[in-house]
């Protein structure tokens, strides 16, 4: 059976901090859940593996496709490196309240402790309520000992770098960077396939039964990057009708496509799958004369064997385009 552009059934997750924007802004229906904090759009994480939603492969899981098609789906280089594990996880996140302050281990530490990949990620801000902020990194140089002293004194917030956020802002978060998504933000997240999170501080919140969430203060100490960086927000110049690179790291490359008209994308030099995440508008992804629609709030996986596409649109679109280079 021939591979084609694939859309998957969204996995919805209610969260202590989740809100309603997945429905009200992205137009996605999460049914009877009280809220939706995250949607997992393309996932190979055990227990949350995506299932094809449309076309002749509907009902098959991403893992089944990888086992059947291998390099045709993933790209030879990617398949050789990752085997049967899909290397990226794509989410939308709606923070109706601040998320916990957390950090993710790098590949080496995650492999040693959890037999997992580490978690380097990026955020693209869809929508931001006025005054919304997020935390990424430290606002001063620190040693591990200085960090722990501030933490034990209850002064963690004093040493964290806070950023005011607007729509279209981009943040790259390598493994080891302390961070949290602040109240009022709706964003897209591209990350390594990993669900390993060390929760450092959760603002002393409790669940419906009065229980505080588990913290991982000790585990986080060896995972944290204590360096101070002059800039934490990714700087880019938005250009219409051409691709703009946002992130280029060993784990993924992500471009922004902001087009008011039809365009084509040539992937002949890439030995990788491609992921499109539609943030505004809609398009028809044309492959060999056949059209596959994508609209705001949807993600699409282009198998590695697809080497070029036409993106046809009536009203324009904004998309993230990610692959492993």
Whole-angstrom distance, CA of residue 147 vs CA of residue 27: 42
pLDDT tens string 210-234: 888 899 999 999 999 999 999 999 9
Q: What is the pTM of this model?
A: 0.95
CATH superfamily of 11-221: Jelly Rolls (2.60.120.10)
End-to-end CA distance of the chain: 27
Whole-angstrom distance, CA of residue 116 vs CA of residue 268: 31
Please report which confidence band the pLDDT of residue 1 belongs to, taking 50, 70 and 90 as the band edges.
low
Give the length of the chain. 325
| Catalytic machinery residues | 199
pLDDT of residue 318: 98
Whole-angstrom distance, CA of residue 131 vs CA of residue 170: 17
pLDDT of residue 121: 98
DSSP string covering 206-274, please? B-TTSPBPP--HHHHHTT------S--BPP----TTSEEEEEE-SS-EEEEEEESS-EEEE-TT--S-E
Cα angle 296, 100, 180 (rounded to 5 degrees) comes to 55
Residues sharing a CB contact under 8 Å with residue 115, sequence separation 6 or more, in sequence order: none
Mean pLDDT, rounded, for 165-171:
97
* Tokens coding 52: 């094809």
**Of 165, 91, 90, 177, residue with least CA distance to 125:** 165
CATH superfamily of 243-323: Jelly Rolls (2.60.120.10)
* Tokens coding 283: 């398009």
Mean pLDDT, rounded, for 38-58:
97
Mean pLDDT, rounded, for 129-151:
97
Asked if residues 249 and 169 have their Cβ atoms less than 8 Å apart, the reply is no
Q: What percent of the chain has pLDDT over 90?
A: 96
pLDDT tens string 196-214: 999 999 998 877 788 888 9
Strand, helix or coil for residue 178: coil
Distances (CA, A) of 308 to 5, 288, 311: 11, 9, 10
**What are the start and end residues of each CATH 2.60.120.10 domain in the chain?**
11-221, 243-323
Q: Could you give phi then psi for residue 71, rounded to 5 degrees?
A: -65, -25
**Of 244, 225, 243, 247, residue with least CA distance to 234:** 247
On the question of pLDDT at 16 being above 90, the answer is no
């Amino acid at each position: 059976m021939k591979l084609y552009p694939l859309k998957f059934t969204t996995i919805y997750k209610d969260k202590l901090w989740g809100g309603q924007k997945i429905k009200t802004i992205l137009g996605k229906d999460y049914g009877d859940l009280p809220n939706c904090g995250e949607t997992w759009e393309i996932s190979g994480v055990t227990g949350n593996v995506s299932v094809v939603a449309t076309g002749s492969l509907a009902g098959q899981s991403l893992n089944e496709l990888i086992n059947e098609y291998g390099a045709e789906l993933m790209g030879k280089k990617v398949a050789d490196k990752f085997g049967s594990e899909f290397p990226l996880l794509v989410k939308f996140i709606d923070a109706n309240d601040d998320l916990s302050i957390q950090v993710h281990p790098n590949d080496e530490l995650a492999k040693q402790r959890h037999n997992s990949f580490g978690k380097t990620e990026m955020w693209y801000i869809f929508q931001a309520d006025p005054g919304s902020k997020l935390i990424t990194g430290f606002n001063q140089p620190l040693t591990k000992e200085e960090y722990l002293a501030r933490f034990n004194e209850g002064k963690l917030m004093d040493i964290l770098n806070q950023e005011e956020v607007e729509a279209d802002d981009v943040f790259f978060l390598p493994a080891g960077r302390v961070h949290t998504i602040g109240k009022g933000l709706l964003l897209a997240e591209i990350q390594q396939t990993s669900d390993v999170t060390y929760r450092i501080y959760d603002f002393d919140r409790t669940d419906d039964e009065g229980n505080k969430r588990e913290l991982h203060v000790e585990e986080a100490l060896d995972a944290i990057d204590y360096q101070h960086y002059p800039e934490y927000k990714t700087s880019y110049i938005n250009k219409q009708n051409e691709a703009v690179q946002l992130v280029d790291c060993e784990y993924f490359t992500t471009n922004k496509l902001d087009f008011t008209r039809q365009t084509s994308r040539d992937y002949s030099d890439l030995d990788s799958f491609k992921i499109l995440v539609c943030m505004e508008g809609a398009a028809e992804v044309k492959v060999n004369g056949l059209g596959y629609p994508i609209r705001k709030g949807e993600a699409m996986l282009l198998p590695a064997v697809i080497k070029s596409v036409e993106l046809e649109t009536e009203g324009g679109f904004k998309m993230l385009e990610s692959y492993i280079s």
